[in-house]
Chain A
Amino acid sequence: MNDLAPPIKSLSMLKEINSRYYEEVRHAHEMGKKIAFVNVFSPAELFYAMDIIPVYPENHSVFLQAKKLTGEVAGYSEAEGYAPEICSYALCDIGHAYSGISPVGGIPKPDLLYTSNCQCSSLTKWFEVLSRRYEVPLFLLDVPFFGEREFDSNAHRYVKTQMNELVALLEATTGKRLDRDRLKEILDVSERTCRYWKDIVESACHTPSPLTVFDQFIAMAPVVSQRGLLVALDFYETLKSEIDDRVRNGIGAVPNERYRLYWDNLPIWPELKWLSDRLASLGACLTATIYTLPWTSLGVDEKDPLDSWARQYLVYFDWHLQRRIRLILELKEKYKLNGFIYHSNRSCKMLSLGVEEIRKAVSKSTGIPGLVLDADHGDPRFYSLGEISSRLESYFEILSQMETKG
């Protein structure tokens, strides 16, 4: 086998980082802290500033799915009457809420739930289930996207009002006032962390790319869940310096990098390693994705963070179909992409229902065909590795023929 590149050593720090994080979550109440279950597009910095540890059911479901526990844990939610047609993160997490099954040693009951529909609408319904199950209040941040229209100050005012209501709720939950200076410090760390993340993600512009999108998927947990803490900052500083070395020394993540591909939608978590090896063996490097991009620029204006968050949720997280197409075309130039894989993710209607429109538009504009893979981000009952494998083979055959012709 000549398709093994030297692994990125810093990634091995993650095991320790994650286990410490969950250990702290387990002891939060003893330390006088509260626990909030939140969605991944949430103001982590605000929670940390209030001594509330944000816990991410989505991330916990990733652990369950990566450990191939989906079938076992989903059995519990299905026994409660939840049909498997919903998002497999939710199915696993509701299963966890009923069974306690956890590959990270368990999570205590939350004191509070927070979610936002700027990410998807399933989260609202999922967190409503959690709110009934744990008998704790749910705060929904309602974000009315205005898509391609001009900036809507009415919507911005509405989201900002809710941010203020959130602060009031957090203050009532903890019995403490929000310490604005502390928040500033955390925001400063957060911004530096995101800058490192941006550099890391963008280092894939180099040929060969020093890391793959798979590496990004593995490396992204701290910037999501511990953004604003020094542990995350240190990790990305170390990771960035290693990636910089790889760039300097021309070390590619995929030896004999022949194809530089775009990946749309979420990973197929249970098959990360399988798919990574499969693509590497075909000389294909997943180089860019939109999925890890949001954390590359979460700068929050320290003068008026609530205003800034409101703007961020309204504008930055709005993956309007046309915007996604434009973004992919920009990524194509920036990352010198020569192939596009779209994961039609049964679990994520939000990102998948328009996939065919995106594929058509991008192919038309670039002249490069795209491949749609029908799968699921975490439930192996909804895809077949054999089928994925054969579709990949035919896709690369087409790309290879195009190269010959071109």
Chain B
Amino acid sequence: MARQVLGTFLSDVPEEIIHAGGLLPFALLGARKAQSQAPSIPSFACSLVAATLSGALLNGPGLDGVVAPHYCDSSRAFFHVWQKNFPDNFSDLLRLPMKLDSEGAKEYLVGELLRFKEALERNFGVRISDDDLSASISAYNENRRYLRTIKARRIEDPDFMTNYDFFSLVKSSMTRQKEEHNGILKNIMDIRKGSSPRGARARPVSMVFVSGVICEPSEIFEWMDELGMTVADDDLAVGSRYFSHTVDERGDPLDALAESYFHRIPSALVHGPGDRAQYVLKRVRENGLKGVVFIRLKFCDPLVYDYPDMKKALDREGVPSILIETDLQGPLTGQIKTRLQAFSEILEGAS
């Protein structure tokens, strides 16, 4: 029997629990191609929510259920509309703590993960033991380790892998069975053990930081490849926030999963003591990056609120940055490419 598939929303869903239940967590990353918006979704809905919901409302859910964290008003609305339209489909609004500095947050999260585990067990008639969880955590840790290794290799050697290939690997990690994906990553590492073949470089490489939630359409990565911009670091949910942490393999698995939530890189969606601007600046300095590309999904309010102060902080330190607005459903315009090109020239001039 084919595995049942649970759609997950962005990076903080504890996929290990889903995986331990023998289900396949499948990240909902919006439709690949521009499609029409379902009439019941207002034009000002977050582009990712609108694209994902439109696909489901127009073509059916195509999944055995969804798990969405309550990050923002849009993700909550996504869950409600899904629930209303597909009442027989499993759906769970996961209430991760949206602040990280309360004494009660960790204990609460452990309880919430337990509730979620039991909801899966009830709905899918499975039993998820601690051993199952530990095995999943181990497979996920291995996957995250591979992705971190590739990311580090790319900083040393931008020819190791293109932006497009790397972020495609991250996305495929979020939609494939982890053991299988670990096999793919292991193969890649085995094949590419030595130094990468260095072709004649048309232009110098500028290493940049990409900041946002999700960088789609993925042509943006291809264009950056063409322009000689290497995404050496990022704070994307569909990026480093997905793989930068390790879950402790000793002790109680749910406790370890909960603990790891408090040690991730800062996100616009979670209120934390860490300042996103300071985090980006620190990473830019540590890795000698040339500039920052802000990728803002249309109607993603959290990013709108964060951007001006982040930009000011970068300006003060003389770090060039550019803001690119993206729309998962609109036509892909060449304007983004033109702007990226202009930015890459600024970066080259600055070096």
Q: Which residues of A contact B (CB under 8 A)?
A: 80-83, 85-87, 90, 117, 120-122, 124-126, 128-129, 132, 140, 142, 144-147, 152, 154-155, 157-158, 160-162, 165, 320-322, 344, 346, 349-350, 352-357, 360-361, 374
Does B301 contact A125, Cβ atoms closer than 8 Å? yes
Known: A80-B308, A162-B104. A142 touches B98 (CB 8 A): yes
Q: Give bound CA distance, A239 to B204, whole Å.
A: 73
- Bound-state Cα–Cα, A80 to B307, Å: 10
A356, B104: Cα distance in complex, Å:
37
Task: Show 24 residue pairs from A and B whose CB-CB distance is below 8 angstroms, ordered by the A residue.
Answer: A81-B312, A86-B305, A87-B301, A121-B71, A121-B73, A124-B271, A125-B268, A125-B302, A125-B304, A129-B308, A144-B112, A145-B76, A157-B107, A158-B97, A160-B104, A321-B84, A322-B80, A349-B72, A350-B77, A352-B42, A353-B41, A353-B74, A354-B84, A357-B84
**In contact, A165 and B98 (Cβ under 8 angstroms):** no
Residue in B closest to A125 when the chains form the complex, CB atoms: B305
Task: Establish whether residues B97 and A349, one from each chain, have CB atoms under 8 Å apart when the complex forms.
Answer: no
- Asked whether, in the complex, the Cβ of A353 is within 8 Å of the Cβ of B271, the reply is no
Q: How far is the CA of A368 from the CA of B4 in the complex (A)?
A: 41
| Interface: B45 (CB within 8 A) | yes
Most chain A C-beta atoms within 10 Å of own C-beta, residue among B78, B97, B98, B298 = B98
Other A-B contacts than A132-B309, A346-B44, A356-B39, 15 sampled, CB-CB below 8 A, are: A81-B312, A82-B304, A85-B301, A86-B301, A121-B73, A122-B305, A125-B302, A129-B305, A144-B98, A154-B108, A321-B83, A350-B76, A353-B45, A353-B78, A361-B84
Known contacts being A144-B112, A145-B95, is A353 close to B77, with CB within 8 Å? Answer: yes
Is B305 touching A162 in the complex (CB atoms < 8 A)? no
**Chain B residue contacts of A128, Cβ below 8 A:** 271, 305-306
CA distance A366 to B210 in the complex (A): 50
Q: Is B151 an interface residue (CB 8 A)?
A: no
Cβ of B103 and Cβ of A161 under 8 Å apart? yes
- Residues on B lying within 8 angstroms of A by beta carbon are 39-42, 44-46, 49, 70-74, 76-78, 80-81, 83-85, 93, 95, 97-99, 102-105, 107-108, 111-112, 115, 268, 271, 298-299, 301-302, 304-309, 311-312
Instruction: Give complex CA distance A357, B86 in Å.
Output: 12
Query: Which chain A residues lie closer than 8 Å to B308 at the CB level?
Result: 80-82, 129
Q: How far is the CB of B320 from chain A (nearest CB, A)?
A: 15
Alpha-carbon gap, A82 to B107, bound state (A) = 36
Query: A280–B74 Cα gap in the complex (Å)?
Result: 35
Q: What is the chain A residue whose CB lies nearest that of B108?
A: A158
Whole-angstrom CA separation of A121 from B311 in the bound complex: 22
Residues of A contacting B97 with CB < 8 Å?
142, 144, 158
B149 to A: closest C-beta gap in Å: 34
Give the complex CA separation of A117 and B102 in angstroms.
Answer: 15
A121-B71, A129-B305, A142-B102 as given contacts; A152 in contact with B44, CB under 8 Å? no
B93 to A147, Cβ gap below 8 A? yes
* A126 and chain B: residue at smallest CB distance: B305
Q: Which of B71, B78, B103, B107 contacts A165 (CB 8 A)?
A: B103
User: With a CB–CB cut-off of 8 A, which chain A residues contact B115?
Assistant: 152, 154
Decide: A161 and B305 in contact? CB cutoff 8 A.
Answer: no
Is B95 a contact of A85 with CB atoms below 8 Å? no
Choice from B40, B99, B104, B305 contacting A140 with Cβ under 8 Å: B99
Using A145-B70, A322-B84, A349-B74 as known contacts, say yes or no to A158 and B102 having CB atoms under 8 A apart: yes
Given contacts A157-B104, A158-B104, A158-B108, contact A142 B271 (CB under 8 A): yes
B73 touches A122 (CB 8 A): yes
- Give the nearest-CB partner of A82 in chain B: B308
Question: Which chain A residues lie closer than 8 Å to B103 at the CB level?
Answer: 161, 165
Q: Is the CB of B309 within 8 A of A356?
A: no
Q: A140 and B107: CB pair below 8 A?
A: no
B98 pairs with A124, CB closer than 8 A:
yes
Give the docked Cα–Cα distance between A160 and B103 (Å): 11
Given A145-B70, A158-B102, A161-B104, are A90 and B305 also a contact pair (CB < 8 Å)?
yes
Complex: how many Å from CA A120 to CA B71? 10
Measured between C-beta atoms, what is the minimum distance from A84 to chain B in Å? 9
Q: Which residue of B lies closest to A350 (CB)?
A: B73
Q: Is the beta-carbon distance between A165 and B102 smaller than 8 angstroms? A: yes
Partner of B81, one of A82, A154, A158, A321: A321
List, in ascending order, chain B residues with CB within 8 A of A129's CB. 305, 308-309
Residues of B within 8 A of A154 (CB): 108, 111-112, 115
Complex interface: chain B residues within 8 A of A320 (CB): 80
B42 touches A161 (CB 8 A): no
Residue among B42, B46, B98 with the highest chain A CB neighbour number at 10 A: B42
A354 touches B271 (CB 8 A): no
Inter-chain contact A144/B42, CB cutoff 8 Å: no
Q: How far is the CB of A185 from chain B (nearest CB, A)?
A: 29
Residue of B nearest to A144 (CB): B95
Contacts of B304 in A (CB 8 A): 82-83, 85-86, 125
The CA of A81 and the CA of B323, in the complex, are separated in Å by: 11
What is the CB-to-nearest-CB distance from A236 to chain B, in angstroms, rounded to a whole number?
Answer: 31
In whole angstroms, what is the CA distance A360 to B39 when docked?
Answer: 12
Instruction: Name the CB-closest residue of B to A324.
Output: B80
CB distance from B314 to the nearest CB of A (A): 12
Q: How many angstroms between the C-alpha atoms of A165 and B81 in the bound complex?
A: 35
Which residues in A have their C-beta under 8 angstroms from that of B45? Answer: 349, 353
Q: Which residues of B contact A83 (CB under 8 A)?
A: 304, 307
What separation, in Å, do the CA atoms of A353 and B271 have in the docked complex? 23
| Cα of A121 to Cα of B270 in the assembled complex, Å | 10
**Do the beta carbons of A353 and B42 come within 8 Å of each other?**
yes
Q: How far is the CA of A97 from the CA of B70 in the complex (A)?
A: 29
With both beta carbons as reference points, the residue of chain B lying nearest to A120 in the complex is identified as: B73
Task: Point out which of B112, B301, B311 has the most chain A C-beta atoms below 10 A from its C-beta.
Answer: B301
Give the residues in chain B near A155, CB-CB below 8 Å: 95, 108, 112
Instruction: Find chain B residues with CB under 8 A from A165 CB.
Output: 102-103
| Complex contacts, B80 vs chain A, CB 8 Å | 320-322, 354, 357
The distance in angstroms between the C-alpha atoms of A346 and B42, with both chains bound, is 8
Docked Cα-Cα span, A230 to B45, in Å, equals: 42
A370 to chain B, nearest CB (A): 13
Considering the chains assembled together, what is the distance between the CA atoms of A145 and B76 in angstroms? 10
With A and B bound together, what is the CA distance between A120 and B305 in angstroms? 14
Contacts of A145 in B (CB 8 A): 70, 76, 93, 95
**B112 to A, closest residue via Cβ:** A154
How many angstroms from the CA of A128 to the CA of B301 in the assembled complex? 13
Interchain CB contact under 8 A, B108 and A349: no
Bound together, the chains give a CA A142 to CA B70 distance in angstroms of 11
What residue in chain B is nearest A90 (Cβ atoms)?
B305
